[in-house]
Chain A
């Protein structure tokens, strides 16, 4: 009974939102706006659920003296301090921006910078085994684009930019368009399965 109720809710609400894409009726539009507003609010609550769960997991790790409990303590302390400072002074206050500029941005930027080594390592690793045609095309395209994106030792070689532009505008667009269409078809199939009640990710 409960499962049927959940399915009915998901289907009814989904149908109202979906119909709004194709039918332009005032009543439907007003109902749609209200439902979307509620969904936005619930999305924010879902984010809170995520952070609360993160806090709870690490709190348990710290209080039950599990291995690596020290790191959990560090996480909790940084979480609480950030909550306090940003919550009290506001996100755009100088103190909040100080935390953001000097802790979050450097760490995230450094993590991204690590990829230069790790991706190069992965690219070299492709040659370790006997490469097939597709991996040769893959790494060949990547290397060619890397050569053609920046100036080649300070020189803009003629032809290489045009070659890069042609690859970007023709074969890459063809593959990307096929991928986009495939993703769209898959999204439609999966979404319709949910709207018809065939898939019930909400535990119905």
Chain B
């Protein structure tokens, strides 16, 4: 069964349909019944020079398609589409559209002038187009007399003298460069769109009509475009420059060496000389002895908790600081750990830092040698817990599986096979320690300890307290955990100030006392440097401003 494709939506319809069953567009144009019916003929290449008078009822615009008559202007066609000319009359079949009638704007459009249209025969490519196109079989339609004749030869179209020929448009060089070299320019209609001559259906031979078959169902060879570019010398220079810029991206460029001494260098050296000179003088002469500070509430709590420990208490001691801050942390923790050892506590050392276990050994050797604590007897070093918060959580959940051996690969925990070390006798979980003390320099690490460990200590019947010895920089961030109600951390020793206060509480601890005097002196010198230096610098920059700016500022 034959089928016909809708020219509007492109869908297939039965051959006998007159309207599309999908979009209701007409599939079969309205048929004109001529007075003399003639069998449909093959469309000749050229329309006869004259066309018989239009049968009654034939639209005037169609009459204009006859050979004698010039092609109606696009303007008149547009008017027809819009619903008629101003005077309401459609162009009659006697209407000749001469070149004089062609409006100027139409005549100026690039393309063939009427004279050229007259002179040139139908273009070869048009002929090829009509010849190459494969037309699906369409229903033979009764073609009227005038439609069966070819289009009037453009050479026979009467036209007046043409307007002055429009000079071809000048394209910018970059557009010229990317224009396909071998492409043939298509004929462009007055509207600027490439024209195509319908080759199938009742409108065969007409141009500028909607296709009977949509393009997408008509197989055709896709056009090929050459890839050659026409590049000018200037464009090549620009392209090379851009390529160089892109290639240099990602390549490490050597930093330009600053030559000479700038004011920044002088300022830095001045600060270094003043500060280090003052401190060196204080250290050498030892003349900056100062009374130790008074203890604060958080420091007193640590003292109270340690004082209340039973004899031979099990204490977990975490060394979680970096070697760079060992000076401050050693000074802050000396008096506290000394107090623990005085109470006879068994210490279990852990760390979440790779260098922590070694720092712990160093701390005990350097600051607590008077207590003669022995590894494996009085204290046990379980070593390093990797993974940060994950490692802490693992240690909280099951300390025995997380750190089964000491740093010397000795089985540490009590089990059926091993008696366990004295420091871990009776310890299965974190709650079995009487005290947890974390010596930490980093706020994030301190927070991780609180978040992972402290909820475990909130279990019922848990008497384990959590205290921290921290660097001074941690104080602002960790204090909320002490100020909370209920407290999450039961006591703090903040920095050298806290360590010195603790040393005053216990009356022991040499290191914080040694550092305290130069420490206070150095902080005051630094504060004065920042204050005075800043005021001088701001005054200099203010005086160095140009008068205009000052005047504007005063307005």
Contact = CB atoms under 8 A, between A and B. Distances in A.
Interface of A: 17, 20-21, 29, 32-33, 36-37, 39-40, 43-44, 47, 90-92, 96-97, 100-101, 104-105, 108-109, 111-112, 116-118, 120-121, 123-129, 131, 139, 142-143, 146-147, 149-156, 161, 165, 168-169, 172-173, 175-177, 179-180
8 smallest A-B Cβ distances: which pairs?
A150-B520, A127-B534, A43-B387, A108-B324, A36-B394, A151-B290, A146-B527, A43-B386
A176 B479 CA distance: 8
Nearest to B365: A97
B523 A147 contact: yes
B533 A92 contact: no
Interface in B355-397: 355, 357-358, 361-362, 365, 375, 381, 385-388, 390-391, 393-394, 397
28 contacts: A29-B397, A32-B397, A33-B398, A37-B394, A37-B398, A40-B390, A40-B391, A44-B387, A47-B386, A90-B407, A105-B323, A109-B327, A117-B271, A120-B529, A124-B267, A124-B533, A128-B538, A146-B530, A151-B517, A152-B524, A153-B521, A165-B296, A173-B476, A173-B483, A176-B477, A176-B480, A177-B480, A180-B480
Interface of B: 267-268, 271-272, 275-276, 288-291, 293-294, 296, 322-327, 354-355, 357-358, 361-362, 365, 375, 381, 385-388, 390-391, 393-394, 397-398, 401-402, 407-408, 447, 455, 472, 475-477, 479-480, 483, 497, 516-517, 519-524, 526-527, 529-531, 533-535, 537-538, 541
A100 B390 contact: no
A118 B324 CA distance: 16
B380 to A, nearest CB: 12
A40 B483 contact: no
B477 A124 contact: no
B408 A90 contact: yes
B408 A139 contact: no
Given A150-B520, A150-B521, A180 B534 contact: no
A139 B327 CA distance: 26
Nearest to A38: B394
B447 A180 contact: yes
Contacts of B357: 91-92
Nearest to A112: B324
A113 B243 CA distance: 47
A16 to B, nearest CB: 12
Nearest to B538: A127
B267 A154 contact: no
A150 B523 contact: yes
Given A91-B407, A127-B535, A127-B538, A149 B472 contact: yes
Contacts of B296: 165
Contacts of A90: 407-408
A14 to B, nearest CB: 11
B328 to A, nearest CB: 9
Judged by DSSP, the binding face of B is: helix
A84 B390 CA distance: 30
A33 B394 contact: yes
Contact of A39 (B394, B517, B527): B394
A127 B532 CA distance: 10
Contacts of A92: 357-358, 361, 375, 381, 407-408
A44 B386 contact: yes
Contacts of A165: 296
Given A120-B526, A124-B267, A176-B480, 17 more contacts: A33-B401, A37-B394, A40-B387, A40-B390, A43-B387, A47-B386, A116-B276, A117-B272, A120-B529, A120-B530, A121-B267, A125-B537, A143-B531, A150-B516, A150-B522, A153-B520, A154-B517
A139 B475 CA distance: 18
A101 B362 contact: yes
B291 A156 contact: yes
Contacts of A147: 523-524, 527
B534 A126 contact: yes
A116 B354 CA distance: 26
Given A91-B407, A120-B271, A168-B475, A96 B358 contact: yes
Contacts of B516: 150-151
A18 B480 CA distance: 25
Contact of A117 (B268, B361, B527): B268
Nearest to A92: B361
Contacts of B361: 92, 97
Contact of B476 (A121, A128, A168): A168
B324 A40 contact: no
Given A40-B402, A117-B268, A108 B531 contact: no
Given A104-B323, A146-B526, A169-B483, A97 B477 contact: no
A15 B418 CA distance: 36
B386 A40 contact: yes
A146 B275 contact: no
A22 to B, nearest CB: 11
Contact of B529 (A44, A124, A151): A124
B268 A121 contact: yes
A164 to B, nearest CB: 9
Contacts of B522: 116, 150
A116 B275 contact: yes
Contact of B397 (A36, A142, A161): A36
Contacts of A168: 475-476, 479
A119 B407 CA distance: 38
A39 B387 contact: yes
A143 B527 contact: yes
Contact of B526 (A109, A116, A156, A173): A116
A146 B523 contact: yes
A17 B534 CA distance: 52
A105 B398 CA distance: 33
Nearest to B296: A165
Contacts of B325: 112
A15 to B, nearest CB: 15
